[in-house]
């Protein structure tokens, strides 16, 4: 179904397969057999190299005009967009910015055989997925429904990677039938993949997800490559997995190695540290007769959430730091960007309900909340906040907590933000809301998930997801 156009003319611009389960597992608890690396095991903590990466300042698609004080996106006033769509919180994307972000990775990967696997967990909007697929992306999946969505959006299954530490047998059967790459995360995961191969009658291309014990220096909730993480295989168990794969030649083909360090990473040397470890593992795995063709270095490149002029690593910086390692081993490179493809393309657009003061604390209360955007509450994450329109000339600048109407003290979008005191009904945006915002939204307090729109290349605004309604909620109880 085509996206619904709300502005027919551009606004004036400012510059089920059958499943069967097994009664007993194929593998008993494995005996730990140390894998003997030819290099010293290190718990690496990356330090920026003495030669800085060739970085450049990011030009944001949402910009505040110095001439009139309004916020614009792709030449359109966000205020005008607010007046043309439903009067409720909504997500507003720049479709051209999504394209530009993908193109940055495509250009960075020139000269390498590669797959850009977009991490669907970051944002699962169907129209966005179709656009990313048209731009040549593959997909990274962490659930059976994400796999079904990727297939519905037309992604090439041979450019899809199925991750996760608790993949279900029925979902693995679908992955096997479709020819998706599957990462092996544990002993029972390998057991289930073998079962899925037998049920489907298809050999599964697998990668071993190795936990490299590299500290990504990020919030612990988004660190995934530490030795205490729930994800991946520790190196001392690696030989057992290699032997297990060898014992199932009709079900499994080991084609690569995978690692994922975490998210919001802003030092590309961390990726280099991990890649050095991974190619050494690949050398040793190849020495045992395996034809390893793929290195998957995961995703996790951070963005400038603070809008403070920071110059952060670009996709080219990331790829250049691992390029020679990949070429030296004649490997195909898989990367799994999510946040860096979609986060900076979007704002959550809200209206101010009112302003209040309790004691020494000032609050801006808006109609959006933690239900629509939970990152600040969940991770204490910072996302830039600003008003859509210029404030009144006499508006006092004060320090506010920006909060929603949800019945929780944790319901905040930003704390200690210096803003002109906004009028009731004024527009207020939370920036960089494309990743891990709508995909983590809830209906807590029966705040129904909001609609999504994007600004197209031709300057029109289109709806790309309907907002949920109370009637949608009640449909879950029909006929009971």
Cα separation values, 131 from 135, 155, 453, 467, Å: 6, 10, 14, 20
Partners of residue 262 on adjacent β-strands = 223
In residues, how long is the chain? 480
Contact assessment for residue 361 and residue 426, using Cβ atoms and an 8 Å cutoff? no
Q: Give the Cα separation of 66 and 424 in Å (integer).
A: 24
Q: By the 8 A CB rule, do 340 and 299 touch? A: yes
CB-CB contact of 171 with 161 (8 Å): no
Q: Is the dihedral of CA 350, 355, 358, 362 positive or negative?
A: positive
Contact 122, 343 (CB under 8 A): yes
Checking DSSP bridges between strand 76-77 and strand 71-73, what pairing results, if any?
antiparallel
In sequence order, which residues have a C-beta less than 8 Å from that of residue 220 and are 6 or more positions away? none
Residues 61, 347, 407, 437: which is the catalytic one? 407
Question: How far are the Cα atoms of 261, 395, 402 from residue 237, in angstroms, in the given order?
Answer: 19, 63, 48
Rounded to the nearest 10 degrees, how much is the dihedral formed by the CA atoms of 235, 238, 239, 241?
170
Going by C-alpha positions, the residue among 30, 26, 28 that lies closest to residue 195 is: 26
For 2, other C-beta atoms within 10 Å of its C-beta total 6
Element (H, E) at 357: strand 346-358
Across 74-223, the runs of DSSP E, i.e. the strands, are: 76-77, 90-94, 114-119, 138-141, 160-162, 181-184, 204-209, 214-215
Give the DSSP H/E element, type plus range, for residue 99: helix 95-108
DSSP 179-202: T-EEEE-SHHHHHHHHHHHHHHT-
Is beta strand 346-358 parallel, antiparallel or unpaired with respect to 90-94? antiparallel
Angstrom distance (rounded) from CA 427 to CA 432: 16
Residue 90, strand partner residues? 349
Strand positions, DSSP E, 142-283: 160-162, 181-184, 204-209, 214-215, 252-258
Active site includes 407?
yes
The CA distances from residue 434 to 214, 375, 454, in Å, are 27, 11, 11
Q: Which residues are catalytic?
A: 407
């Amino acid at each position: 179904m085509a996206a619904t156009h709300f502005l027919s003319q551009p606004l004036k611009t400012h510059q089920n397969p059958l499943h069967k389960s097994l009664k007993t597992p194929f593998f008993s608890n494995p005996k730990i057999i140390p894998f003997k690396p030819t290099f010293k095991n290190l718990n690496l903590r990356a330090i920026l190299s003495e030669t800085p990466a060739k970085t450049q300042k990011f030009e944001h698609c949402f910009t505040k005009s110095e001439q009139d004080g309004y916020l614009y996106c792709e030449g359109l006033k966000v205020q005008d967009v607010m007046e043309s769509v439903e009067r409720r919180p909504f997500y507003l994307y720049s479709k051209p910015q999504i394209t530009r972000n993908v193109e940055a990775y495509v250009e960075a990967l020139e000269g390498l055989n590669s797959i850009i696997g977009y991490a669907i967990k970051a944002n699962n909007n169907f129209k966005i997925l179709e656009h990313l697929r048209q731009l040549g992306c593959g997909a990274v999946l962490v659930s059976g429904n994400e796999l079904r969505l990727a297939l519905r959006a037309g992604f090439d299954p041979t450019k899809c990677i199925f991750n996760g530490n608790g993949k279900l047998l029925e979902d693995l059967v679908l992955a096997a039938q479709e020819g998706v790459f599957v990462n092996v995360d544990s002993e029972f995961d390998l057991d289930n993949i073998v079962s899925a191969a037998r049920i489907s009658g298809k050999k599964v291309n697998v990668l071993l997800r190795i936990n490299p014990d590299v500290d990504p220096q990020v919030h612990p909730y988004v660190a995934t490559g530490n030795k205490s993480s729930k994800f991946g295989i520790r190196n001392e168990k690696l030989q057992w997995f290699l032997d297990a794969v060898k014992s199932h030649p009709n079900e499994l083909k080991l084609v690569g190695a995978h690692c994922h360090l975490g998210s919001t990473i802003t030092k590309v040397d961390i990726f280099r540290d991990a890649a050095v470890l991974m190619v050494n593992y690949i050398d040793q795995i190849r020495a045992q007769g395996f034809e390893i063709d793929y290195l998957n270095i995961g995703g996790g490149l951070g963005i400038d959430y603070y809008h403070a002029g920071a110059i952060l690593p670009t996709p080219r910086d990331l790829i250049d730091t691992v390029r020679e390692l990949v070429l030296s081993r004649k490997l195909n490179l898989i990367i799994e960007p999510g946040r860096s493809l979609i986060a900076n393309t979007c704002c959550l657009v809200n209206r101010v309900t009112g302003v209040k003061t309790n004691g020494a604390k000032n609050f801006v209360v808006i109609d959006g909340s933690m239900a629509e955007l939970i990152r600040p509450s969940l991770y204490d994450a910072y996302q830039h906040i600003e008003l859509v329109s210029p404030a009144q000339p006499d508006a006092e600048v004060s320090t506010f907590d920006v909060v929603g109407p949800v019945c929780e003290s944790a319901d905040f979008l930003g704390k200690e933000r210096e803003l002109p005191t906004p009028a009731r009904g004024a527009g207020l945006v939370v920036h960089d809301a494309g990743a891990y915002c709508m995909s983590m939204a809830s209906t807590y307090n029966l705040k129904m998930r909001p609609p999504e729109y994007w600004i197209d290349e031709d300057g029109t605004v289109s709806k790309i997801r309907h907002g949920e309604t109370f009637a949608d909620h009640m449909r879950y109880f029909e006929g009971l």
